[in-house]
Amino acid sequence: MTTADLHTLTGAYALHALEPGERAEFERHLAVCPACAQEVRELAATAARLAQAVAVRPPPALKQRVLRRIATERQEPPRVAPLPRSGGGAGRGRALSRFSLAACLAAAVTFGGIAVWQHQEAQDARRRAQETHQRAEELATVLAAPDAEVVTGKLTGGASGTVVVSRGRNRAAFIASGMPKPPAGKVYQLWYDDGGTMRPAGLMDPSAGSDTVLLAGRVGSASGMGITVEPSGGSPRPTSEPVALMNFPAA
Amino acid sequence: MKEAVYIGGPAPVGPDLPELLGRVAKGDQDAFARVYDRVCGPVLGLVRSVLRDPAQSEEVAQEVLLEVWRSAARYERARGSVMTWVLTLAHRRAVDRVRSAQASSDREHRAALLERTPAFDEVTEEVEAGLEREQVRRCLRTLTELQHQSVTLAYYQGLAYREVAELLAVPLGTVKTRLRDGLIRLRDCLGVEA
Ligand SMILES: [Zn+2]
């Protein structure tokens, strides 16, 4: 399918009317076409209005059933919190020990490179990460990328942060150290810095143990990253002064 | 960002949906009950319009709401409103369910679908009156016949665009573009922002 054809699929995609192969092809296109991504957001919001026009009054028993179920239903960590946390029950595989991975990351940063990942301990940690969580796998590939570059900077309040950028994989990860919990109802939001324009790159919640996160989206031509404190759920654009701004190593 | 209008009752006061969902992500069951009250009517109505069968629809609506509970932490405000996020999940699940059912009883199903056309008026018979519904109906009337049929068959009945093309006996490319320009016209008529 040509790119011009792909641009016309926003409506069919927003209505889940594509077949699986086309859907996958269009999603690859969405990742690199901001115009289509914006149009899909708008058309999905339009479709949601069609749903609201056929709202019904749900039977009270449904609410009772759902509320009973959630009392025992496990919740997932944020998408941008790639490290599976330990302390869970059965059924999710072995959780990666945050201590061993943190130790590896600290060592990696100290040595100014990622070669330490070749150590047995790191390999074990990485293997377990891959088994338990695909996000962790993506993170591991960024951290282990041959072209990964590391920058460490001071954040406000005595915390420090380390950015790992792989231009080859077009992805970046952020490792926080000593970041305080955000205020109640707030989250840390990560941003790519596209020449002064901030592009959303996911959320981070240190209280949920996600002190290492894969930035959402591609590095693209970003020259650096920033972190702000935003209301729960994040914001389309920064609404507060950044707690950190870090430049990526020159491409 | 504009949150969607509540249907079937007075607008709720208190924390907005993103704030409630932030609490849900931290395991707050009371906050979840409030999110439930805001989204369940549209979720169930949408699922029912696609699946028809009331028992199956409740089952899928329940799956959707449990998914909201499980994955609340994955909601990102930058990608759209909470209502859109939830209803996108709901439509996806309803469509998956109807297509897996269709694979087994393809022929009868298609014949039945043709008789169900058009979906919108039929579906809204069982719906409580609401300003929102009136506005949506008014905007749907601004579409061309082909746009209207393509959008409602795909959305309210969960058809893939190939099936829409077959039912309406028009080329595939035509349906693709009608789905897009039909939704764009609706977006502009409803004043949707994202
Ligand atoms: Zn495009």
Which strand (E) or helix (H) includes residue B18?
helix B17-25
The CATH fold assigned to A1-55 is: Arc Repressor Mutant, subunit A (1.10.10)
Nearest to A56 among B1, B126, B159 (CB): B126
Across chain B, what does the average pLDDT equal? 84
pLDDT band at B115 (very low <50, low <70, confident <90, very high): low
Over residues A155-177, the mean pLDDT reads 76
Nearest to A55 among B8, B81, B158 (CB): B8
Interface probe with A: pick from B81, B187, B189, B193, most Cβ of A within 10 Å: B187
- Give the single-character DSSP code of B159: -
CB contacts under 8 A, B 167-186 vs A, are 175-184, 186
Among the ranges given (A34-48, A125-139, A165-179), the one the predictor scored with the smallest mean pLDDT: A125-139
- Predicted local distance difference test score (pLDDT) of residue A166: 82
A14 has a pLDDT exceeding 60: yes
User: Of A166, A187, A175, A173, nearest to A231 (Cα)?
Assistant: A187
Over residues A7-11, the mean pLDDT reads 95
Instruction: State pTM to two decimals.
Output: 0.59
- Predicted local distance difference test score (pLDDT) of residue B124: 44
CATH-assigned architecture of domain B107-194 = Orthogonal Bundle (1.10)
Rounded to the nearest 5°, which phi and psi values hold at A207? Answer: -70, -20
Among the ranges given (A51-65, A217-231, B64-78), the one the predictor scored with the smallest mean pLDDT: A217-231
Whole-number Å distance, alpha carbon A89 to ligand 1 midpoint, is 43
Q: How far is A40 from chain B (nearest CA, A)?
A: 9
Across chain A, what does the average pLDDT equal? 74
Nearest to A77 among B18, B73, B176 (CB): B73
Higher pLDDT, A174 or A136: A174
Query: Which residues, 6 or more positions from A137, have their beta carbon under 8 angstroms from its beta carbon?
Result: A129, A130
Higher pLDDT, B24 or A169: B24
Residue type, A172: A
User: Of B83, B68, B151, B57, nearest to A56 (Cα)?
Assistant: B57
DSSP string, A169-223: TTEEEEEEESPPPPPTTEEEEEEEEETTEEEEEEEE-GGGT--EEEPSS--TT--
**Residue B153 to residues A12, B136, B167, B170, Cα–Cα distance (Å):** 11, 16, 9, 14
- Predicted local distance difference test score (pLDDT) of residue B179: 98
- Give the single-character DSSP code of A249: P
- Predicted local distance difference test score (pLDDT) of residue A117: 31
Whole-number Å distance, alpha carbon A219 to ligand 1 midpoint, is 19
What are the pLDDT digits (tens) for A127-142?
445 455 556 566 767 7
Q: Where are the domains of chain B?
A: 14-105, 107-194
Nearest to A51 among B8, B25, B87 (CB): B87
CB contacts under 8 A, B 58-117 vs A, are 58, 61-62, 65-66, 69-84, 87-88, 90-92, 95
What are the pLDDT digits (tens) for B142-192?
999 999 999 999 999 999 999 999 999 999 999 999 999 999 999 999 999
- Predicted local distance difference test score (pLDDT) of residue B13: 57
Interface probe with B: pick from A1, A8, A16, A229, most Cβ of B within 10 Å: A16
End-to-end CA distance of chain B: 7
- CA A226 vs. chain centroid, Å, equals 14
**d(C-alpha A222, C-alpha A219), whole Å:** 6
- Predicted local distance difference test score (pLDDT) of residue A86: 36
Q: Where are the domains of chain A?
A: 1-55, 77-251
Please state at what angle helix A20-30 crosses helix A34-52, rounded to 10 degrees.
Answer: 120
B7 has a pLDDT exceeding 70: no
- Predicted local distance difference test score (pLDDT) of residue B99: 85
ipTM over 0.90: no
Contacts of B192 in chain A (CB under 8 A): 42, 45-46, 49
**d(C-alpha A30, C-alpha A47), whole Å:** 18
Using a 10 angstrom Cβ sphere, with 0-12 exposed, 13-18 middle and 19 or more buried, the burial of residue A46 is: buried
Residue type, A81: A
Closest chain B residue to the Cα of A73, Cα to Cα: B70
Whole-number Å distance, alpha carbon A226 to ligand 1 midpoint, is 27
* CATH for B14-105, options being 3.40.50.2300, 3.30.390.30, 1.10.1740.10, 3.80.10.10: 1.10.1740.10
CB contacts under 8 A, B 129-168 vs A, are 130, 132-133, 135-137, 151, 154-156, 158-162, 164
Give me the count of residues in chain A: 251
